[in-house]
Structure 1
Amino acid sequence: MGVQSPSLQSSLFTLFILSFSLSLSAACEMGFYKPVAGNGLCGKCPHHSHSETRAALSCPCDSNYYRAADDPPAAPCSRPPSAPVNVISSVNGTSVNLEWDRPQDTGGRSDLKYSVLCQKCSGEGGPCGDCASSPGGAGGGKAGGGASASVGGMVERLGTAAVRFVPRQTGLTEPWVTVLNLVAHTNYSFRLLAMNAVTHLSNEPSTYALVNITTNQAAPSEVMEIRQQNTSQNSVILLWHEPNQPNGVILEYDIKYYEKENEAHSYSTLKSKNTSARVSGLKPGTKYIFQVRARTSAGCGDFSQNVEIQTGKAAPLRYNTMTIIWICMALVSGLVTFLAIFICRKRQGYTLPHYPSLLHCGYSKAFQDSDEEKMHYQNGHVSFPDARFYIDPHTYEDPCQAVHEFAREIEASRIKIEKIIGSGEFGEVCYGRMRLPGKRDIPVALKTLKAGYTEKQKRDFLAEASIMAQFDHPNVIRLEGVVTQSKPAMIITEYMENGSLDSFLRRHDGQFTVIQLVGLLRGIAAGMTYLSDLGYIHRDLAARNILVNSNLVCKVSDFGLSRVLEDDPDAAYTTSVSFHIEGGKIPIRWTAPEAIAFRKFSSSSDVWSYGVVMWEVTSYGERPYWNLTNRDVIKSVEEGYRLPAPMGCPGPLHTLMLDCWQKDRNERPRFCQIVTVLDKLIRNPENLKSMDTLCSLNSPPLMERAIPDFSSCNSVNDWLDTIKMSRYKDHFAAGGYQTLGHVISMNQG
């Protein structure tokens, strides 16, 4: 090919430049765009956008995709994220921790934020309303309905509720939140929404993750509105209202008071069963500060705000000097007479018992808060608490009468049995759903009475339902109702998702912190405190008879062995861990020595069993005493052997176990005291150190021995037996002290 001439080369270059210029000024094809007309290059439309005509200046977003206001035209279009996933809830009293993972679809953006919607529901299957509404409030909004703008409105309304969200309720950048100040024993529903900068542009309903929880037991809220009804020189009558959130049955109120000018030195406390109290023994013309708090089985609430009251001034002295001298002589004469009588009786070997010990019936200083060390009692009288006792259904001639008196009858058509989950003493145990009029389906557990039952089996079956129906506590299994009008007969209880505690622990061996294990034990002890306060003896407390729900709340169950076995020689506990003794069967490894040997079942024998449950929990469901035979267990325990601390078990917990296993049942703690100890360990987790560290400390024992419980004393002789002074029965009888009232008046002289 010949060499081109310079004129031809120039022409070709000019033609190339002209073509390039024409391409720059040409209109963009579909799928491309130029922000401004001119000689700029056409750009391809960003992801999830398009241009439907030539010469497009921008690329609109595809359907359901959006650009935020501050996104540049070249930014890809994005959409709202999907719902958060893998939500985990952890309930602690009246608070809940919620954690979740990022949505699987972030919408193509990185500016994720989260919001939490809270609804409070009135009972199982009841209506739900905003947490800011009254319990069971109407409405509550349709979940996830409408645009995200309406969701934002709901969040704004919820922001006015007393419920607290930490760190905040909306605009969360981290996938967790803690919700505080919920109501105890209440169902809540939380909706977790993920949002980004284009969420508010979408007209589609926002997706959310839903989690339902039930709060646990909690201390009452603060007592409000304390006022004085009457004031004299030496006394004040106070009135107040029950807390806005009692969170259970108020057992009593604590009234703390002290002189305003002597605050740093000492104060006194007074207890009252009612919302009023008379505080006596005050100084005339003195300013006092009063505070009141409420107590339930879950513990004490906060003290109220200070209330200042001044007593009346003392009246001027009206007696002359001679009258005062005569009064003093009379007092001295009376004192000399009293001392002479006391010395005379002392020489005869008679000692006046210490009356304050009677006043402090069942009260152990080791479990007393520091602000309760000084107690005042009204007019020298002892008032024993009003207690409700459960009624033994075996006292009824007709078992159906007992079950219908305590439990509600459910129509069989309301029950849908879905699967068999186990077998019990009387028949199969099933999982099912129950629907009551006007309520949604709820999961339930069903104990059935197998065909061909004997009259005795039917009686025992219905008796268990009659017993359960009398209990109402968050740590005791709840009876929903019974089916007796059709076959098979059924006992319907709440469904516990995690099953029995021993199996649950074995499935999750080593997966819990010590504090979580202490929390499980605390719930069991709280349930047993409630039962023992009702005068109920379980007789078969073991991890296999504790059920665990989805919130890791432990509930005492299985009341089949709670009958008086010594009066029923045909009773049999059919599990392989029991041991045949005198016609009945007893779970030897969990039973106190006096119950095995003499059938002496009591709340104290339940405490022994609770100590074994503690060992089961801290060993993650190991078999107590391992492979020892039942006979070897009885012999070893009688000789003083006690189970050693499981591996990793903190010293304080094993110390508490050993206290529960005291041979003398009067030396064992009461369940209410066990709850107090566990609460202190939960509040001060630094005490739960390793075994080696604790063994090296010369600290005082975790528990001091409790003063005996005098609530069962019906006579002077009973009282003397309890305080181990039986040898003085004849002296008291000779002195004319025939009733407890006479004993009380003895120290009032």
Structure 2
Amino acid sequence: EEISGVDEHDRPIRTYQVCNVLEPNQDNWLQTGWISRGRGQRIFVELQFTLRDCSSIPGAAGTCKETFNVYYLETEADLGRGRPRLGGSRPRKIDTIAADESFTQGDLGERKMKLNTEVREIGPLSRRGFHLAFQDVGACVALVSVRVYYKQCRATVRGLAAFPATAAESAFSTLVEVAGTCVAHSEGEPGSPPRMHCGADGEWLVPVGRCSCSAGFQERGDICEGFYKVSPRRPLCSPCPEHSRALESASTFCVCQDSYARSPTDPPSASCTRPPSAPRDLQYSLSRSPLALRLRWLPPADSGGRSDVTYSLLCLRCGREGPAGACEPCGPRVAFVPRQAGLRERAATLLHLRPGARYTVRVAALNGVSGPAAAAGATYAQVTVSTGPGAPPTTRMPRPPAPTLSLDALTLCGGNRSGWRIPLNLLSAPWEEDEIRRDRVEPQSVSLSWREPIPPGAPGANSTEYEIRYYEKGQSEQSYSTVKTGTPAVTVTNLKPATRYVFQIRAASPGPSWEAQSFNPSIEVQTPGEAASGSRDQSPAVVVTVVTISALLVLGSVMSVLAIWRRPCSYGKGGGDAHDEEELYFHWRFGDLCCGCLQLPGRHELPVAVHTLRDGCSDSQRLSFLAEALTLGQFDHSHIVRLEGVVTRGSPLMIVTEYMSHGALDGFLRHHEGQLVAGQLMGLLPGLASAMKYLSEMGYVHRGLAARRVLVSSGLLCKISGFGRGPRDRAEAVYTTMSGRSPALWAAPETLEFGHFSSASDVWSFGVVMWEVMAFGERPYWDMSGQDVIKAVEDGFRLPPPRSCPSPLHRLMLDCWQKDPGERPRFSQIHNILSKMVQDPEPSKCATTACPRPPTPLADRAFSTFPSFGSVGAWLEALDLSRYKDSFTAAGYGTLEAVAEMTAQDLVSLGISSAEHREALLSGISALRARVLQLQGQGVQKMAQDRPLLPVQEALKKCFPVVEEQHGLWQSTLRDCSPLLASLSNLAEQLQAAQSVRFEDVPALRAFPDLQERLRRKQLAAGDTVLDKLGEKLATLLKVRDTVSSHVEQVFRIYEQHADVVGLDAVLQPSALSPSVADMLEWLQDIERHYRRKYLKRKYLFSSIQWGDLAGIQALPKAWDQISEDEHQDLVQDILLSVSFFLEE
């Protein structure tokens, strides 16, 4: 019977009721129309009805019922209405429905209707629709409403990917994988589209992947707004770099303004630059013998905003009086030293010029954006000179005041000064050809002598120095040699027999400048062809054979300052009044490094560093010593130690360099630890990278780069030194003797294995130097020996980031430590990266606490390579924090195991107020805890070797119905759980050892990360009482686990013996099992429900177990599932406690 009415909200409703309770064998049906199931496979039917209590109906005791039945029938189309049609198709029964509450006659009088609601599920359905039918068998029931629905995950946008509405699957535990579509102006990873999983309850779960805004767009909510962005990998758009603009919205790059450009190597994020202006203050000097034009200039006033400025020379030869238009290129005859194009030096020399000609030389400044016009001389400075025989020597190059040659020209600071002051200049020799005597001529040697140009006894007569140049006749332009001596006589050896040589002499004495003078008229000497006795030794002099003009010029720059300081240096203190003890830097292998002062005419005293070579050194050691000066004289860079000169006369030999008041960089950093912030430390690195870039572009390999070879000036300017003293000089023993540091700490793998040096090996060493700087001069690899370092590096170990080291800087270090030299960055790239880091550092989120560090290769290495400490005091001394030794002892932290369990709060309770010291201690505690865990884990692993165990991850998959993308649904059996019990047992043992849980010392549970905080969140009293209770519960669980394992094994043995007689179900009846096994089964069900409900947690747990590092679980990247930081931390804590057999339960 259909009845119309209204509900409590006055809305019209239709109800169907039946109450044929007095007649037996009732069979009344109500059928719905055809219902399309749409996309649903699992359909829910919600019924609202009322039902009268049969006892309240008189005379209906035998025929009245209090239930009714519900059926459904799947069809492809509407069957129409009527019981015969439905009944003929065999509908399926859904359920028999009974009322929770029934009403009586009294309720009718009070107009109280007790409404019941029941929900039933049908499916999975496969046809297009279905009918519902309700069967009455003799009840007094009213059907108020029927609601039919299915569950679906609503359409949503997540991670810039749109997911359509998706119906839930039929199986309760099955997830539907749905691929997302990237929204407009965004794109996904190639081959890995974003996807999510629709759960059975209509909720989206387990997002995988996401979309990123396309180039030119940035994310704002769930849409993208365009401006300028280079790559989809960048999250935000950026403003256009300097001197550039975006021509349209959604730009992927910015176009340079007029007159500005980018070089092909510049990234789109680089500022636009322009060509430089012309060089400034071009000066020249023309010498007659040999005919050479020397040029010097200053950098351009405008570099164009770039640092890659180079210089190019153009030589034009013009007629004697002709106009400039009659000029023509000089041709290949003219030589340029060091080169014609690509010059980074601001000096050059032109050789092989023709006499009687006019030359115009243009010097152009170029950079990375200079075009062909600039290269041809669009921005240049020029000079015009004449080489005619009647023209006087020309000069437009003011020289600095010449150094003085006197006993106190170079002395120790504070020493007594006495002696002559005679300017060091070279004077044209006033000799005629017949005044040079041929004292002895042999097949391989010639001895010459001449009169002194200054009368004996006159000031400077004993300080005159002579330069002798000789060459084979006709070969002066190809090769010649020079000899310097302090006496008016010389013996030249190593000559060819039966060869005619040309000799020229000039003297150093008061007179015009060096460049304006020439050698005396030459004399020729023919060596005899007959064999002669062995050649005599030369007089005390420095002899350098010059194969090329370029080498001569380098030597000339090296010898530009000559001064004498007669005091032998050795490993001892040294005597005399020449120096004070504190002015001696240190002894080195061949002599001393001292502080001195250089007096130049017209200038104040210049503090210098004097490297001396002690007496008794071998010739090879002398050559190595002078080779360093020769090498250093080639360089002109603000971050390379400047050579002031060399002293070769007398003993000892000396190399004079600029004075760096703060000494070596590593010692400077250790002395000022705590006084410099990370930004200041990073500010030291770009200059060093610039110097190494300069060296690599010159083709020079340092071979021995380390922080101890970087010197610091009074202005905190770092400069590279130590040229010529790298590992090729068998330096390992020397470094170990002097500083206890092996070159293996800085050497690249290819250098250690094959002895191969290159710019790439210098890059490796520079990475270690960056680590030293950020670690305040700490020794790389701590107290590991050289052999341990070599093995660790071969195994893939890399230094972890020092505290307060920005993660981008440590990533750059790791790039420098790539095993393949070809994968390491070049110094030009390193310099650019460091410069950008300094100019635009990342904002620090951890100014007062230690920064979290991403997982590094350090976590994968065995801890046997780390330093071992015998006591807490030794550990504190290694951290340079031994001042807190008494505090640790007084608080009861007398063992390293106890220290390994300390937290940040414990350090505060010790009264350690310095945040920086707490950071250092926490970092040391982390490494110490890892060491303790490693040692304790070794015993557990030894116990577990008796029987092989499945990984817990695989055991979980076999035991529990784990929902994984590739694995589907497993049916768990007790047999499948046997390996799990064994694996969990082993895992619990490892956990117990790793966390140092001792039942007789329950407070050791403090080792669990943030356990007290977690208890506080659960509103529990975080104290020893609670910890004791948790410890007791853990102990009980461990004992139950052991008991359960033994009982389960017993059950399996029984089943295997009697499987043919009884089934597994019979064996597992509660009556056949001990209480422990029954508890175990219940426990397994709890775990199964827990993991089914916590899919995300299980995913993290699997990964942590797979890594084999329980402690590393705290470093799980929250980016996996796009959850917040708080959610991530909560999840980590849940997992840690879940592994500990669900202590939080």
TM-score category, normalised to shorter length:
0.3 to 0.5
Bigger Rg over Cα: 2
Higher RCO by CA contacts (8 Å cutoff, separation 6 or greater): 1
TM-score (structure 2 length as normaliser): 0.27
